[in-house]
C-alpha cells in the first residue's frame, strides 16, 4: 500500500465526524471552507452552524445586510472573509441563478475563492480531480518527502502543488484530499506530531532524520506594525456613542468607539491637549475612568488599546458617529476587544 492509500485508510478509521463532511452541497462546503480558513475547527464549528441556520441557502445569504454578516462573524477575525462571502453569494445568485457551482473553472472566478478553496469545493462536492494544498497538506508533504523549499515562496508553492497533483487519487479525489488534510490536522501536527503511531513513519524523511521541527520551511516576510488606539467611552442617558469605521483600514465597515490613534503610548495629559481631542471634546474634559492598556494581536499588526471614559465639555459629533442605547450593542458588529470591554462595563 502506498503513501496516499495508507493515509486514506487511516482517515477512514480515525476521521472526525464533522457536519460539512456529510454533504455534497457546494454551498455548505463553501461555508465551512471559508469559515475554517485561519480558524481551528473547534472555534469555527459554532460559526458554521449559526450561518447555516440563518442562511440555509446561498440565495438567502445573498440578500443579507453586510452588518448582519459581520455581526455573525464577530470574533472570528479576518473580517474581509465575511465581506467577501457576501459578494460571492451575490455573484452566485446573479451568474448561476442561486445554484452554487461545483466545477473548479467556475469556482475560481468567484470573489474570495482562490485555488485552494476552489479545489476543495470541486473535489468534495463533485469529486473533481483537483489536489488540495492547505497548511496541513504542506506540512505532511514537506515532512514525508523532505522538501526544504519554503512553502510561501513562489517556487515552493509550485513544487508542493506538483507533488500533490502527482500523488492524487484520481478515482477518489475528495476522499484523498480529506485524508491528507485530516492527517495533518490530527496526527502530523505542527508541534508534537504523533510520529510513534504514524502509519507511514517508516517512509517519512522527517521521522528518519529527526527533522519534524524543521519542516516545513517558511520565509519570514511579515513585518508587524505597532499601533496605539485611544478609545473614548461617552455615555449619555443610557446611550453610548459609537462610530462606524470606513472601508480603508482593519475592521472595515464595523463599529467601534470614537478613537484617536497615536504613534506611541502617550500620557493622558498629552492626549487631552491634542488638537484633535480639543476639536472633538473641548478644552475641559472630565476623565472618569481609564482602562489598562490591552494588547491585541492581528496577523500583521500589534494593537495597544486603552479605553478612556470621559464626560466632554462639548461634543462635536462627526459624520460617522451616533448614539445608541447600551442594550442595542448586541446588534452591531464590533471588534472583539471593543465588544468585550463594553459588555464587561455594562454587565451585558
CA distance 165 to 168: 5
pLDDT per residue over 204-235, tens digit each? 999 999 999 999 998 887 788 999 999 999 99
Q: What does the block give as the cell for 277?
A: 481631542
Residue 283 placed within a domain: yes
DSSP 234: -
Mean pLDDT to the nearest integer, 163-191: 94
Same domain, 13 and 117: yes
The pLDDT value recorded for residue 27 is: 97
234 and 112 within one domain: no
Domain with 306, as residue range(s), is 225-346
- Co-location of 229 and 119 in the same domain: no
- 184 shares a domain with 78: yes
d(CA 326, CA 328): 5
Residues 54-80 have pLDDT tens digits of 999 999 999 999 999 999 998 888 888
123 and 265 within one domain: no
Whether 136 and 243 share a structural domain: no
Residue 187 lies in a domain: yes
How many domains are contained in the chain?
2
Q: Are residues 203 and 229 in the same domain?
A: no
* Beta bridge partners of residue 272, listed in sequence order: none
User: What residues contact residue 248 under an 8 Å CB cut-off, 6+ apart?
Assistant: none
* pLDDT attached to residue 348: 65
What residues act catalytically? 33
Closest alpha carbon to 78 in 20, 41, 135, 39: 39
The pLDDT of residue 305 is above 90? yes
pLDDT tens for each residue of 113-125: 999 999 999 999 9
CATH of the domain at 107: 1.10.340.30
pTM: 0.84
Give the pLDDT mean for 17-30: 93
273: in domain: yes
Q: Note the pLDDT of residue 53.
A: 96
pLDDT category of residue 327 using cuts at 50, 70 and 90 = confident
Query: Which of 208, 241, 269 is the last residue before a domain boundary?
Result: 208
- Tell me: do 201 and 247 sit in the same domain: no
266 belongs to a structural domain: yes
**Nearest CA-CA partner of 258 in 267, 271, 270, 269:** 271
- Which cell goes with 120? 476543495
Per-residue model confidence as pLDDT tens digits over 270-283: 998 899 999 999 88
Amino acid at each position: 500500500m502506498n503513501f496516499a492509500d495508507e493515509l486514506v485508510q487511516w482517515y477512514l478509521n480515525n476521521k472526525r465526524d464533522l457536519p460539512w463532511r456529510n454533504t455534497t452541497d457546494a454551498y455548505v462546503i463553501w461555508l465551512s471552507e471559508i469559515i475554517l480558513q485561519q480558524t481551528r475547527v473547534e472555534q469555527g464549528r459554532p460559526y458554521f452552524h449559526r450561518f447555516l441556520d440563518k442562511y440555509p441557502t446561498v440565495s438567502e445569504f445573498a440578500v443579507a445586510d453586510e452588518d448582519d454578516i459581520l455581526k455573525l462573524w464577530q470574533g472570528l477575525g479576518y473580517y474581509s472573509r465575511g465581506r467577501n462571502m457576501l459578494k460571492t453569494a451575490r455573484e452566485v445568485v446573479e451568474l448561476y441563478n442561486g445554484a452554487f457551482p461545483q466545477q473548479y473553472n467556475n469556482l475560481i472566478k468567484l470573489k474570495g475563492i482562490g485555488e485552494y478553496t476552489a479545489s476543495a469545493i470541486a473535489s468534495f462536492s463533485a469529486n473533481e480531480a483537483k489536489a488540495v494544498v492547505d497548511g496541513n497538506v504542506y506540512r505532511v508533504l514537506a515532512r514525508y518527502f523532505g522538501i526544504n523549499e519554503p512553502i510561501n515562496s513562489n517556487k515552493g508553492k509550485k513544487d508542493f502543488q506538483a507533488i500533490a497533483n502527482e500523488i492524487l487519487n484520481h478515482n477518489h479525489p475528495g476522499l484523498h484530499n480529506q485524508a491528507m488534510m485530516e492527517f495533518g490536522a490530527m496526527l502530523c501536527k505542527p508541534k508534537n506530531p504523533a510520529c510513534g503511531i504514524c502509519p507511514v513513519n517508516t517512509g517519512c524523511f522527517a521521522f528518519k532524520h529527526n527533522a519534524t521541527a524543521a519542516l516545513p520551511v517558511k520565509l519570514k516576510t511579515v513585518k508587524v506594525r505597532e499601533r496605539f488606539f485611544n478609545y473614548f467611552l461617552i455615555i449619555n442617558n443610557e446611550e453610548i456613542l459609537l462610530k462606524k469605521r470606513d472601508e480603508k483600514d482593519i475592521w472595515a465597515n464595523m463599529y467601534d468607539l470614537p478613537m484617536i490613534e497615536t504613534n506611541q503610548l502617550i500620557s493622558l495629559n498629552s492626549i487631552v491637549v491634542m488638537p484633535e481631542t480639543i476639536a472633538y471634546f473641548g478644552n475641559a474634559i472630565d476623565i472618569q475612568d481609564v482602562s489598562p492598556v490591552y494588547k491585541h494581536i492581528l496577523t500583521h499588526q500589534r494593537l495597544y488599546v486603552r479605553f478612556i471614559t470621559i464626560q466632554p465639555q462639548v461634543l462635536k459629533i462627526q459624520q460617522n458617529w451616533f448614539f445608541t442605547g447600551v442594550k442595542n450593542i448586541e446588534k452591531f458588529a464590533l471588534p472583539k476587544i471593543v465588544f468585550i470591554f463594553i459588555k464587561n462595563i455594562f454587565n451585558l
